[in-house]
Protein backbone atom coordinates (compact mmCIF):
# COMPACT_ATOMS: atom_id res chain seq x y z
CA UNK A 1 0.00 0.00 0.00
CA UNK A 2 1.59 3.32 -1.03
CA UNK A 3 2.09 6.15 1.40
CA UNK A 4 3.87 6.76 4.67
CA UNK A 5 3.84 4.30 7.53
CA UNK A 6 1.05 5.22 9.99
CA UNK A 7 1.96 6.56 13.43
CA UNK A 8 1.80 4.29 16.42
CA UNK A 9 -1.45 4.45 18.36
CA UNK A 10 0.18 6.19 21.35
CA UNK A 11 1.53 8.93 19.02
CA UNK A 12 -1.74 9.68 17.23
CA UNK A 13 -3.78 12.71 18.13
CA UNK A 14 -7.46 12.10 18.59
CA UNK A 15 -9.48 14.60 16.56
CA UNK A 16 -13.06 13.38 17.02
CA UNK A 17 -15.13 14.42 20.02
CA UNK A 18 -17.31 11.93 21.89
CA UNK A 19 -20.95 11.98 20.82
CA UNK A 20 -23.53 13.36 23.23
CA UNK A 21 -23.33 14.14 26.92
CA UNK A 22 -21.33 12.17 29.44
CA UNK A 23 -22.91 9.00 30.80
CA UNK A 24 -24.83 9.28 34.03
CA UNK A 25 -25.08 6.16 36.18
CA UNK A 26 -28.38 5.60 37.95
CA UNK A 27 -28.59 3.94 41.33
CA UNK A 28 -29.78 0.35 41.35
CA UNK A 29 -33.35 -0.21 42.43
CA UNK A 30 -34.43 -2.77 44.96
CA UNK A 31 -34.33 -6.42 43.97
CA UNK A 32 -37.53 -7.54 42.24
CA UNK A 33 -39.90 -10.07 43.76
CA UNK A 34 -40.09 -13.12 41.52
CA UNK A 35 -43.65 -14.48 41.37
CA UNK A 36 -44.25 -18.15 42.13
CA UNK A 37 -45.28 -20.57 39.44
CA UNK A 38 -48.99 -21.36 39.51
CA UNK A 39 -49.90 -25.01 39.95
CA UNK A 40 -52.53 -24.78 37.21
CA UNK A 41 -49.99 -23.89 34.52
CA UNK A 42 -49.18 -26.34 31.78
CA UNK A 43 -45.89 -28.22 32.46
CA UNK A 44 -44.20 -26.59 29.47
CA UNK A 45 -45.21 -23.15 30.74
CA UNK A 46 -43.73 -24.04 34.14
CA UNK A 47 -40.48 -25.15 32.48
CA UNK A 48 -40.28 -21.92 30.51
CA UNK A 49 -40.86 -19.82 33.61
CA UNK A 50 -38.23 -21.80 35.54
CA UNK A 51 -35.79 -21.33 32.65
CA UNK A 52 -36.23 -17.56 33.05
CA UNK A 53 -35.35 -17.85 36.73
CA UNK A 54 -32.27 -19.96 35.95
CA UNK A 55 -31.13 -17.76 33.07
CA UNK A 56 -27.91 -15.79 33.33
CA UNK A 57 -29.86 -12.71 32.32
CA UNK A 58 -32.25 -13.05 35.27
CA UNK A 59 -29.97 -10.78 37.29
CA UNK A 60 -30.89 -7.92 34.94
CA UNK A 61 -34.69 -8.45 35.08
CA UNK A 62 -36.76 -5.72 36.66
CA UNK A 63 -40.07 -6.13 38.47
CA UNK A 64 -41.96 -5.30 35.26
CA UNK A 65 -40.10 -8.08 33.41
CA UNK A 66 -41.12 -10.68 36.01
CA UNK A 67 -44.72 -9.49 36.02
CA UNK A 68 -44.85 -9.67 32.21
CA UNK A 69 -43.39 -13.18 32.32
CA UNK A 70 -45.92 -14.26 34.94
CA UNK A 71 -48.78 -12.78 32.95
CA UNK A 72 -47.59 -14.39 29.71
CA UNK A 73 -47.16 -17.75 31.38
CA UNK A 74 -50.55 -17.61 33.07
CA UNK A 75 -52.25 -16.79 29.77
CA UNK A 76 -50.42 -19.53 27.86
CA UNK A 77 -50.27 -22.03 30.69
CA UNK A 78 -53.95 -22.42 31.59
CA UNK A 79 -54.67 -25.08 28.99
CA UNK A 80 -55.34 -28.38 30.77
CA UNK A 81 -52.68 -31.02 30.19
CA UNK A 82 -55.09 -33.47 28.56
CA UNK A 83 -56.88 -30.88 26.38
CA UNK A 84 -56.19 -31.26 22.66
CA UNK A 85 -54.68 -28.43 20.70
CA UNK A 86 -57.23 -26.74 18.44
CA UNK A 87 -56.97 -27.63 14.80
CA UNK A 88 -56.08 -25.06 12.18
CA UNK A 89 -59.57 -25.37 10.78
CA UNK A 90 -61.24 -24.49 14.07
CA UNK A 91 -63.45 -21.44 13.99
CA UNK A 92 -62.13 -18.38 15.82
CA UNK A 93 -63.82 -17.47 19.08
CA UNK A 94 -64.48 -13.97 17.87
CA UNK A 95 -65.64 -13.02 14.38
CA UNK A 96 -62.78 -11.76 12.28
CA UNK A 97 -63.76 -9.10 9.73
CA UNK A 98 -62.86 -9.73 6.12
CA UNK A 99 -61.47 -6.20 5.85
CA UNK A 100 -60.29 -3.77 8.47
CA UNK A 101 -62.03 -0.42 8.91
CA UNK A 102 -60.10 2.59 7.62
CA UNK A 103 -57.76 4.31 10.06
CA UNK A 104 -58.39 7.96 10.80
CA UNK A 105 -55.36 9.80 12.06
The pLDDT value given to residue 53: 93
Computed on alpha carbons and rounded to an integer, the radius of gyration of the chain in Å comes to 27
Kindly list the distances between the CA atom of residue 99 and the CA atoms of 2, 71, 96, 102, in Å, as whole numbers in the listed order. Answer: 64, 31, 9, 9
The pLDDT value given to residue 39: 83
The pLDDT value given to residue 26: 79
Mean pLDDT by 10 residues, the chain (105 residues): 82 74 80 85 86 92 90 72 57 54 54
What is the rounded CA–CA span in Å between residue 64 and residue 93? 30
Contact by Cβ (8 Å): 69, 48: no
Handedness of CA 88, 79, 68, 31 (dihedral sign): negative
Task: Count the alpha carbons within 13 Å of 77 in the hemisphere toward its beta carbon.
Answer: 20
The pLDDT value given to residue 105: 47
Amino acid sequence: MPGPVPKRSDQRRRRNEPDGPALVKAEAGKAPTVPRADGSWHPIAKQWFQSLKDSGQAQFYEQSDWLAAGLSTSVVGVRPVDAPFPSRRAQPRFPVPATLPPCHT
